[in-house]
Structure 1
Amino acid sequence: MNKEILVTGGAGFIGLNFVYYLLNNTSYTVTVIDTLTYASNSKEIFKLMSNPRFRFIKGNITNNQDIGAAMDRKYEVIVHFAAESHVDKSINNPEAFVQTNVVGTSYLLQWLLKGYAQRMIHISTDEVYGELNIGESAFTEETLLLPNNPYAATKASSDLLVRSFYKTFGLPLIITRCSNNFGPFQNKEKFVPTIIYNAYYNQKIPVYGDGMQIRDWIFVEDHCKAISLIIEKGTFGEIYNIGGGNEKTNLSLVKYILNSMGKSENLIEYVEDRKAHDRRYAINSAKIQKQLGWKPTSVFNEALDKTIEWHINKFKGHSL
């Protein structure tokens, strides 16, 4: 009998990539619960419905009854991706982020407490650590949490909630914190798809401030491989940082994509910087590399070129 896995937010960018990874590389039977917001990939979910190892439940993790609909069986593992994740939107509407990222996580933990899964992997973000100055050492799992925007604060809050349920109830919980992902299925509101989309249609590409903010980028497939390894070998109560080791300024990323697409840098438009915009993130992933044997295998430029091609193929035939 195949092992059962529940993926929350499995119609979103990283969640969907992880679902495909599971179906292609494991024998898991996959259940996805997702509310199908604007950032979801509903067409891909529809395609997957014909797979006998896949089922979909439309539901919101902020509704305990919706989660209950998925708890008609016991799972080997819950992988919790479901989250509001767009920083700009968190500044405009923090309450939605509190509900999904904190309250939704609380509900899932209570189902875990009732014994509906053998363990849960809570997917978090490097943004909970705040920002680094140039020259500072990369974030480790011991770095203090100093979130600087409502999105990051709600993710840090959910991390602490998860940790408390491990400490108080001994629940089988693991937290992961990953750097910026890129790859297929990402909504065009995010940075890399925005660059590709606007460049494809010869529209101005907004760059916050001076564009010298630094992010550590990882190809989404490498992230999926890390999560899969954590499911199999991870230690309960641990935090694992996952990073690509590719620190790039926002401006250099824009210029690379424009050059790759044969577009002019005149499309770049500098705009007012985001409130509390973190200057630099960098992840030290030595722990997962040493303890679990994971390392990113994608070559950054090759993976980014593949991502550009994927988005262009998606845009073809679609008008503005």
Structure 2
Amino acid sequence: MSHVLVTGGAGFIGSHFVKRLLAADDITAVTVLDALTYAGHTENLGTAFLSPKLTFVHGNILDATLVDNLVRRSTAIVHFAAESHVDRSFYAAGAFVATNVRGTQTLLDAALRHGVKRFVHVSTDEVYGPMPEGTATEDSPLRPSVPYAASKAAADLIALSYHQTYGLPVCVTRASNNYGPCQHPEKVVPLFITRLLQGEPVTLHGHGEHVRNWLHVEDHCAGIDLVLRDGAPGEVYNIGGGTDRTTNELTGSLLRACHATWDAVTYIPDRQTNDIRYSMAWHKIAGTLGYRPVKDFEEGLAETVRWYRRSPDRWAPLTPRPKAAPAMPTALAAQAGR
């Protein structure tokens, strides 16, 4: 795994993973390919640019010529690059299909041409769809309910098909909700933190009973690293954090960490599609690769709040005052109006 190409390496999770790779003695070179869309920032890599191992390339995974040139000299690929925000997928599903599906196929084709030794495709627990009860395993059916999750599920299946059809050494990882420093403030944890630190209100959808499993970004990166090094080709690995919280419970923890009260919270009608619960077993990666999350949830949240408190220069430019939402497709508008 001496030369690793990391797509989306200037994003939230990707940048943490790049720093982990650069600290490893057996990694001689890391190339980051990132389109630097609204969610990707070179500032996320920070001191990583001081490493002689790092090469940064500003470009898109849909650029087949560029991808081919980069993959040609890579030993392994870890593929983070994706459109990833559920709400945005309601208004721009085509962009999600283009990047998440066609972009993944572009990378897979190049990996196949150049004999890459390992391709790790980073995915999400949302591909399993809502789990009102029970827990999804790697063998559970994929039942995504929103365009974002559907595009990731399609990419998962295409990646795995390249192993079945061509023998490409592909592994797929599916993680639960991530949190930690440097996350874009469109996501719920940094959104609530940044608003509360500014004395602004936060809103909860429905009754605040949606359940998510919360995984610190460093634990997620540790799991991906294990799969990169020792995962079995053709296998899927769920990476969980072991900390389930309702949105109400998450909000309570964030209020305490930000020294705010429930007076800052308002409940609003739920969005038209909002899966009530995700639940995903991760005993496979624990049993076969020795994965264990180590970050305590409350401590991880407190650490995350401290980062946002001392780094307003990083997130304030990303949190403009709310603007009118783009026009919703007619079918969704009709559903939302019911």
- Correspondences of 1:54-73 after superposition (within 5 Å): 54-73=54-73
Equivalent residue, structure 1, for 2:199: 202
> How far 1:205 moved relative to its partner?
0.7
Residue 262 (structure 2) aligned to one of 254, 260, 265: 265
- Correspondences of 1:27-106 after superposition (within 5 Å): 27-28=26-27, 29-45=29-45, 47-73=47-73, 75-106=74-105
Q: Does 1:293 align with 2:290?
A: yes
In the alignment, is the contact (CA less than 8 A) between 1:131 and 1:279 conserved in 2?
Answer: yes
Equivalent residue, structure 1, for 2:8: 9
CA displacement 1:210-264 (0-9 Å, x = unmatched): 1110000111111111111111111000000010111101121112111121112
The amino acid of 2:191's aligned partner reads: T
Runs of 5+ consecutive residues of structure 1 not aligned to the other structure: none
> How far 1:272 moved relative to its partner?
2.4
Structure 2 distance, partners of 1:98, 1:26, is 37
Structure 2 distance, partners of 1:182, 1:25, is 23
Structure 2 distance, partners of 1:316, 1:82, is 25
Q: Does 1:304 align with 2:289?
A: no
> How far 1:46 moved relative to its partner?
6.0
What RMSD over aligned residues (CA atoms) do the two structures have, in Å? Answer: 1.6
The amino acid of 2:175's aligned partner reads: C
| Sequence identity (%) | 41
Cα separation, partners in 2 of 1:187 and 1:292, compared to 1, 3 Å: same
Residue 168 (structure 2) aligned to one of 167, 171, 195: 171
Structure 2 distance, partners of 1:125, 1:312, is 28
Structure 2 distance, partners of 1:57, 1:236, is 28
Cα separation, partners in 2 of 1:26 and 1:279, compared to 1, 3 Å: farther
Structure 2 distance, partners of 1:78, 1:233, is 14
In the alignment, is the contact (CA less than 8 A) between 1:61 and 1:108 conserved in 2?
Answer: yes
Structure 1 distance, partners of 2:25, 2:122, is 20
> How far 1:72 moved relative to its partner?
4.8
> How far 1:196 moved relative to its partner?
0.2
In the alignment, is the contact (CA less than 8 A) between 2:204 and 2:267 conserved in 1?
Answer: yes
Residue 218 (structure 1) aligned to one of 215, 218, 234: 215
Query: Structure 1 stretch 31-40 or stretch 262-271: which is displaced more?
Result: 262-271
In the alignment, is the contact (CA less than 8 A) between 1:45 and 1:56 conserved in 2?
Answer: no
Cα separation, partners in 2 of 1:269 and 1:69, compared to 1, 3 Å: farther
Structure 2 distance, partners of 1:26, 1:210, is 49
TM-score, reference length from structure 2: 0.90
> How far 1:164 moved relative to its partner?
1.1
- Correspondences of 1:152-167 after superposition (within 5 Å): 152-167=149-164
The amino acid of 2:209's aligned partner reads: M
> How far 1:271 moved relative to its partner?
2.0
Structure 2 distance, partners of 1:130, 1:26, is 39
Runs of 5+ consecutive residues of structure 2 not aligned to the other structure: 321-338
In the alignment, is the contact (CA less than 8 A) between 1:245 and 1:282 conserved in 2?
Answer: no
CA displacement 1:119-159 (0-9 Å, x = unmatched): 100000000000111xx222110111000000000000001
The amino acid of 1:155's aligned partner reads: K
In the alignment, is the contact (CA less than 8 A) between 2:12 and 2:44 conserved in 1?
Answer: no
Aligned residues between the structures: 316
Structure 2 distance, partners of 1:316, 1:81, is 25
